[in-house]
Amino acid sequence: MVSAKNSFFREGFWKSLSKPSYILFLVAVFFLFASLGFIIDLFNHGETPLPDLLYSILFSGVVAVGYAYAATRYFPLVLGMIVVHFLASLFIPSHQDLNPTLDQLQSRLTIDGIGILIAVISGYVLFVIFISKEGTRQFQLKAEIRLAQQIHDVLVKPVHQTNESFEIFGKVNPADDVGGDLVDVYESKKHTICYVADVSGHGVQASVLMGMFKSAMHVRLSSFTSLSDIISEVNRSILPLKKKDMFITTAIIQLNRQSGTDNAFLVAGHLPIMHYQSATQQVFEYNTPQLPLGVKQNYWFDSQSFNWQSGDVMILFTDGLIEASKNQDVEKGMAMLKQKFIYLCKQHYPLDLLYNGILDALRIQGHQTDDKTLLIIKHL
């Protein structure tokens, strides 16, 4: 979700306006600056011919609208508007001395005064309506962001726990106020289930869908059967409850706390899981190419088994982590991640330093554009 900026000319704010609101703004600008036509006539002592006065009024309002449109849509267009303004000003009729009578002059000055009042008051009223309307919308937007933040803070908490077999560390680093990533760990009597998920979209809708996904996962995990059964059932549960264009990608592992066997992994529309084997000092990628959740009803998700041993480390992550590299290339980002992962594992760093080392290696200069999530599991 895009954070609000303080700059008046921030394109995102103006492009977020509805068409009626933006037209209302431009009309307010027109009326306010159309008053310049009457003011110029006052400086000319009311001697401007009526057709020229009407042209001056329209010219002032239209040029102001042009500048406003350029400044709020694409600021470099202001330079083009300066050129257009200069060329159009060449066609402004030259002043003609009409030598009006005193009565005519008084009548014209009265018209100018009334015209200025109508134009300024109309522009003011329209601006008030615009500000009031957009103020309400911005208030509602901020309330929505606060609600989404509260949901996000409850659902997505940092993970750092240790049991008799594993140490687990993970966090979500949202790009903006509210992210669409999830990291979670669930422990049953025999297994530890670790997973990350990436919900499409941002804001309240993504947070609500994330909440439904996490709740459905915990309900299914409480009566644990297999990863395939769990994810397939969760998919059937959430599919009718979401918008058609929303979906969830996930990578999940099932770890047996009593032995290095009876472990499984499942990847649904997500990036592969990386497994560092301490014995060989190599990294292996685990993947099960299949659809994300929320795309197809009654879709069966497959899982696969794997073995690991003491000293091995596994990482689950979202695409924002590797897309944070400078080249923005997924394959190169994966290669950079794998290289750094191997190096840090060889140094036997604690998981928090391993986490920070990976994020630092893939950090991009400038604004973070996507959530970055990383979950690390080490076999003790």
pLDDT tens across 309-366, in order?
Answer: 999 999 999 988 887 545 557 788 898 899 999 999 999 999 999 999 998 888 764 4
Angle, in degrees to the nearest 10, between helices 50-73 and 77-89: 170
pTM value is 0.69
Q: What is the pLDDT of residues 352-380, one digit of tens each?
A: 999 999 988 887 644 556 788 999 999 99
Determine contact, residues 309/380, Cβ cutoff 8 Å.
no
Determine contact, residues 207/178, Cβ cutoff 8 Å.
yes
Phi, psi for residue 130 in degrees, rounded to 5: -60, -50
User: Would you give per-residue pLDDT tens digits along the chain (380 residues)?
Assistant: 333 334 444 556 787 788 899 999 999 999 999 999 999 888 888 778 888 889 889 999 999 999 999 988 888 888 888 888 888 887 776 655 567 777 778 888 889 999 999 999 999 999 999 988 888 887 777 777 777 777 777 778 899 999 888 999 999 987 766 667 899 999 988 889 999 999 987 667 777 888 889 999 999 998 878 999 999 999 999 999 888 899 999 999 999 887 767 899 999 999 999 999 999 999 999 999 999 999 999 999 999 999 999 999 999 999 888 875 455 577 888 988 999 999 999 999 999 999 999 988 887 644 556 788 999 999 99
Q: What is the pLDDT of residues 214-249, one digit of tens each?
A: 999 999 998 878 999 999 999 999 999 888 899 999
**AA letter at 82:** I
- Rounded Cα distance between 197 and 182, Å, is 5
Determine contact, residues 319/198, Cβ cutoff 8 Å.
yes
By C-alpha distance, which of 130, 101, 108 is closest to 22? 130
Give 22-29 contacts, CB < 8 A, sequence gap 24+.
Answer: 24/126, 24/129, 24/130, 24/133, 25/68, 25/72, 25/127, 25/130, 26/65, 26/68, 26/69, 27/126, 28/122, 28/123, 28/126, 28/127, 28/130, 29/61, 29/64, 29/65, 29/68, 29/123
Domain 157-379 homologous superfamily, CATH: PPM-type phosphatase domain (3.60.40.10)
Domain-wise residue ranges, the chain:
11-149, 157-379
